Each structure stands twice: as structure tokens, then as C-alpha cells.
Chains A and B, each alone.
Chain A
Amino acid sequence: MSANTSISEGGKGYPFGPVKCLMVEGDNGEFCPWYSEADRALDSLSVTQNGIYRASDRGVYGWNRVSVNVQADSVTGRDPETGEEKTVTVNPQTGELVEAVVPTEIRVTTLPTKTDYTNGETIDYSGIIVHAYSSTGQDMGEAPFNELVFPVTTAQIGDRWSDGQGLNAMKIEYNPHLSIRERTDTGEKIDERLVYVHGSALGTTAYEGVRRPASFGAPYNIPNASGTLFVTRYNGSSYFSKISGEGRVEVYVFLDGFVSRSSLYDIKWTGWFISDLTEYEAVEGEFTRGPYETYLTDILESTVNPKRVDPSSLHAVQNLPVRWPRPGVGAILETSFDINVTGGD
């Protein structure tokens, strides 16, 4: 609403004509719009249904009082006579109240066809059958497979392992040293006086500028060759982890201060170990080609000393949740089942 207005000063009138708002200068020099109080009048709002209520849609500036009384489409509670949880709705045609027992629990009645996995394998839930039950234990039939939700998709060994003796696990970090040395079974021998090695392990720490005097059979140490890995700890006394790495090294052989030859080698090494706090056994690796072999020579930033074990002897039980959003109620029912996971290769 605009107002035909005027301001009087000393009996003299100053007509504005239709004015929607006055720009009024405060004594701080800033202008502030002033509106007709009639345009800023408020109304009250009464709501009986959920939704969005914009004042402008009702032709008012705003609401100074809002009253909300929303009736439900249904209510869910326990029948005091039977103890069953029920949902009560209203038949829209007849207006009659309709009671229906609702499921409060789901259980896996048939496990999936596949329950044995190796670490990292995709989980196949086919074959699983889940039934719904009322609060009194009544079987309410099968929950449709396409309504079930399976949050976990990959078999994972996690932090809790068993080596068959019921030992639990936790993670610690360590950095190994990798060493290389000439193999004795290739027929190639490096007998020059100095060998310079550099390269990088894929996705891990680079090792460059490693320089050691050449002496047949002596190792060339490569610190932190595999970066940081995780070791799993058993009951505070034993450790387990898979360690592996691959990379490429270039070997320069010096003779009397000059490069006599250079060669590029791919290396790949892997190992599984379990250890206790006192024993140590190196995990051997391999060159994929070339006259070198690799092995672990040291562990940094850890007191752990590894000892090799067969990964297939290690296993874990993984608990997988299964969820069913309960239709019409908004609640989500959940159950779970176990699969067996082995350490793999």
C-alpha cells in the first residue's frame, strides 16, 4: 500500500503524493527506509498440516502468532492388551480406524550362498533371506530383497585377526629398510670398485643417491624403501602384517671414477610376517629381472621385529549389517550376520 502523505512545517503542507516508503536520514548520516505501519501489519497463522507457509502468499507482511496443530496420518504404539506394536491409520473412505501389527525386528533366516571370502573381495549377498517379526515374535513374512540395504560391500579383515589361537590385533606403524645385493646364481658379477644406486618404489618413498663401495656380495642399503606400513599386533606381544612394494632402480657401476655401465631393474618384493618383540627374521623379496636380490634389513620407528608366517593361516570374522527401512513408519530395522575372511595371498 502506498500512502498519499504530506508533512507540515509551520502550518505549511508538503504533499508527497503516493509514497511507499520514506527514506529517513539518521543523525549518523545513514538513511533508513521507513514504511507505512499499515503495510507492516502482522496477522496470525493457524496450521493443521505440515508444509511451507509464506506470508506473501497470504497477502500479509508476516505473522506475529503461529498456532500449529498437525494431526498424524498414523500413530504407532503398543497395544496394551496384546503387547504388540501397532500402527493405527484412518481409512479415508470410511473414516474408520485401522490397526495393523508392525514389524519391530528382522532376522537373517537364510545366509547368503557365499560366506567365505578373502580380504578385499566384493561381497555377494544373493541367496540371503530376511524375515520380519512383530514385537511378540510373530513371523510377519519375508522382507523383500530389493528393499534391504547392505551398507558393507567389501570383505575386510579389519583390525581384529586371529591366528587360530584367538589372539586379537591392533595396528602400529613402522618403516623398513630395504637392501639389495648381487645374486650369486646369475653368472653376472659386479666387481668394480663403486656402485651407485638410485630409483623409486611405486607409491612409496624414493631412494636416490645411495652410494656404497662395491664389493661382491655386499648389500646396498635403501632406507625407507617401502614407506610406512602397518603391522598388526597380537595381545601386546606378537605382530602380523603383509608388506609389499615394487619400484625401479638404476644401477651405475663405477670403475676408477667413471661410469663403466648402467642398468635399469624392476624390483618387486612381498612378504607376510608375524613377530614377537624379540625375534627377527628378514622378509625376502625379489628382483623381477637382473642380477640382484632384495631383502629387509632393518625396521625403523618401531621395536617390532618381523617373522614370516603363512597368510592363509590367518583369518577373521566380519560382521555385516543388514537394514530394512520399515515401510510406512520411517523406522529402520537392522540385523547382521557373519562371514569368514582370510588373509589371502
Chain B
Amino acid sequence: MAQRAIIGINGDLLPFDETLDKLQTQAIGGGSVTWVPEADTRCVAMTVTENGSKIASDEGVYGWDYVAVNVPGSSVTGTKNGVEYTVTVDENGNLVYTRT
């Protein structure tokens, strides 16, 4: 949420006429500090039920501060006759052994 801002210093108001996404101030000791509105940077919770990747900006949010993951397992990996396999289930419900 960009906003037009006013900062008060010693009783004087320093209006920023432009709409601001960020505000930069000098850091004491050198450098600068960039400030962002809380409303623009609020994080939300998310529940995940499937394996995969999710990008916050794709979901229209700034970020996630709480992620609950509950994914029913879709594969196991172990050895059989000394060979390592990953076992999955295909779309027909059949077990599929794949060497890994």
C-alpha cells in the first residue's frame, strides 16, 4: 500500500507529496535505512496439502509467517534385494518400483 506521507520533526511537518512505496533515511554512522509500510509487508498463514513449490508473490501475498504442512505421502524409498527403490502409486492404483 503506497501512501502519501508526512513526517513530523520538531513540531514541523515534512510532507512527502509523492505517493511513497518506501522511505529512506540516513543511518547514523553512515549508510541509509529503507522503511516500508507495515500494511504492505504483512504476512499470512498457509496450509499445504500437496508436494510442490509456492511463491508468495504468485499468490498475491507478501509472505507466509505460519505454514502448516500436511501432505499425504506419495512415495517411500528403501532397499529391496540390495537395490534402492522409490515406490510410488500410478494413476491406476498400481505400485511402481523405480530404481534410485
Contacts and interface: CB of A to CB of B under 8 A. Distances in A.
Interface of A: 3-9, 13-17, 21-22, 24-27, 32-38, 40, 42, 45, 47, 49-56, 61-80, 86, 88-91, 94-98
Contact of B38 (A34, A78, A91): A34
B8 A50 contact: no
Interface string B60-86: 001111111111111111111000010
A92 B26 CA distance: 57
A75 B76 contact: yes
A27 B25 contact: no
B5 A74 contact: no
B89 A76 contact: yes
A75 B8 contact: no
B35 A22 contact: yes
B95 A79 contact: yes
B67 A69 contact: no
A5 B50 CA distance: 44
B76 A88 contact: yes
Contacts of B68: 51-53
Classify chain B: how many residues form its interface, as a range. 35 or more
Contacts of A50: 69-71
Given A5-B27, A42-B63, A61-B63, A89 B76 contact: yes
A233 to B, nearest CB: 46
A6 B66 contact: no
Nearest to B53: A67
Contacts of B76: 71-75, 88-90, 97
A40 B75 CA distance: 36
Contact of B67 (A16, A63, A79): A63
Contacts of A88: 76, 87, 95
B66 A32 contact: no
Contact of A90 (B56, B77, B90, B96): B77
B58 to A, nearest CB: 9
